[in-house]
Amino acid sequence: MQKIEKSFENIIKKKAFPPSMLFTGPSGSGKSEFAVKLMMVLNCTGEKTGEITPCGRCRNCRRINQLLYPDFIIIEPYKKKIKVEEIRALKSTLSMKPFEARERIVLIKDADCLGRHSGNALLKMMEEPPSRTHFILTSTNYADILQTIRSRCYCIKFFPEHIKDSRPFDLDSVFLHSGQIFFKKKDIFIKIIQKLIEDMFQTNNIIVFASEYISQKKDDVDLFLSLMTIVLRDIIVYKHIQKHIYIENIKKTIEQSSKKIENKKLFKAAETIISTHGNLESNVNIKTFIESLLLKIQVIINEDQY
């Protein structure tokens, strides 16, 4: 791993980050972890201790490490296949500018599951990559990747290091944050997110929501704001392609909201959260902070409706 990191130190110093990369090696060799690390390196806002060493503490690093960053896109096979429809949906997603990242990464796990049609569709994107976008493909076997795709990639061989591969994204990955439990049970969490959407987009109960459901702990609020950003991102994406939803558990609610809210309002609301989120680091009154932010978003969403 040190050899790989040294190689990427030189790449980053030269500002020559490859648009497409292929990580090959056995399960447990750290391919997915290194992809997460690179995403952190590209978007870290703290003080890095080296070219390839993100701070790990800034808001971006924390969210990327928890897979709560909207511009870190992960595609995995379903029943050992990555269908062409999935790649076409990815193309639509990438036609939109990055939500907030300086550089975004698309991680395609088990890329040997790409068929001829899906592989060719991906190849076209790799030949003309969208702005500020990098592809990382992983596989256990270099030879199983389509030759036309291999030829477009900067290839790195990983070796076993007894490192467990990153888990696919699911809600389990967001319950632990800074050593604390955000919401203890999945069903409670899902109900809170659904209520958030209903209250914010359909009623005037924002203050009630803030006082009843939002924790006063800064770590919890940090996670809450990250999840709000993800939800808004999901609604925007669903308007266009009905795929690549991060929080599948509330897909129906996301679908309903996507029909009611204009894109410009969704983007404006997301920008408000992102720009305000940074102020959480200072000594603010949490209750007042959340109430003020949610009221701002409600005004944006309900603008021109009265």
For the chain, residues classed under CATH 3.40.50.300 are 2-169
CB 23 within 8 A of CB 156: yes
Question: In the predicted model, what is the mean pLDDT of residues 21-26?
Answer: 95
Q: Is 17 helix (H, G, I), strand (E, B) or coil?
A: coil
pLDDT band at 169 (very low <50, low <70, confident <90, very high): very low
Q: For the segment 201-243, what is each residue's pLDDT rounded down to a tens digit? A: 555 566 666 666 666 677 777 777 887 888 888 888 887 776 6
Sequence-distant contacts of 279-285: CB under 8 A, at least 24 apart = 280/218, 280/221, 280/222, 280/225, 281/59
- In angstroms, the CA 275 to CA 35 distance is 26
Question: In the predicted model, what is the mean pLDDT of residues 11-39?
Answer: 91
Fold of 178-302: Zinc Finger, Delta Prime; domain 3 (1.20.272)
Token digits of residue 297: 């978003």
Say whether domain 2-169 belongs to CATH 3.40.50.300: yes
Q: Backbone phi, then psi, for 18, in 5-degree steps? A: -65, 140
Which residue is associated with the tokens 């036609």?
95
CB 270 within 8 A of CB 229: yes
CB 138 within 8 A of CB 5: no
What lies within 8 Å, CB to CB, of 282 at 6+ separation is none
For the chain, residues classed under CATH 1.20.272.10 are 178-302
CB 159 within 8 A of CB 25: yes
- In angstroms, the CA 108 to CA 101 distance is 18
pLDDT of residue 306: 46
Q: Which residue has the higher pLDDT, 151 or 193?
A: 151
- In angstroms, the CA 180 to CA 152 distance is 43
pLDDT of residue 305: 55
Q: What is the DSSP annotation of 44-91?
A: --S--SBTTB--S-SHHHHHHHTT--TTEEEE--BTTBB-HHHHHHHH
